[in-house]
Amino acid sequence: MNKKVALTAALMMVVGLSGCASTDSVKRAQATADEAKSLAQQAASDASAAKGTAEAANAAAADAKRMAANAQNTANSAAQAAAGAQSCCNANTEKLDRMFKKSMSK
């Protein structure tokens, strides 16, 4: 029976001491958890800002791609018009040459 009383007393003493230690441990753990939560919230905020920046950059890139495609289409149209003008110029030059040769042969 004395053994049981001694064991119970020792157990209560350990629990009592660990209770004091665990209060400090709980406070430290809570502080660490609060700090971790704060860091996680800051990381989420930074990630959200980065996502917004990435979406804006993506939209700007899409606009630039559309503008480049429009510029290419305009350049292609200009090249076709220039080719048509060159053909017309060549045809006029040939007509003038023929007319000149005709007038010189008379």
Give the model's pLDDT for residue 27.
84
- Tens of pLDDT, residue by residue over 34-86, are 888 889 999 999 999 999 999 999 999 999 999 999 999 999 999 999 999 99
pLDDT at 22 over 70: no
The domain total for the chain is 1
H helix or E strand, kind and range, residue 44: helix 2-105
23 pLDDT higher than 90: no
pTM: 0.52
Task: Please give the residue range of the domain that contains residue 75.
Answer: 1-106
5 has a pLDDT exceeding 60:
no
Among all chains, which residue has been given the structure tokens 């990630």?
Answer: 47
CA distance 93 to 85: 12
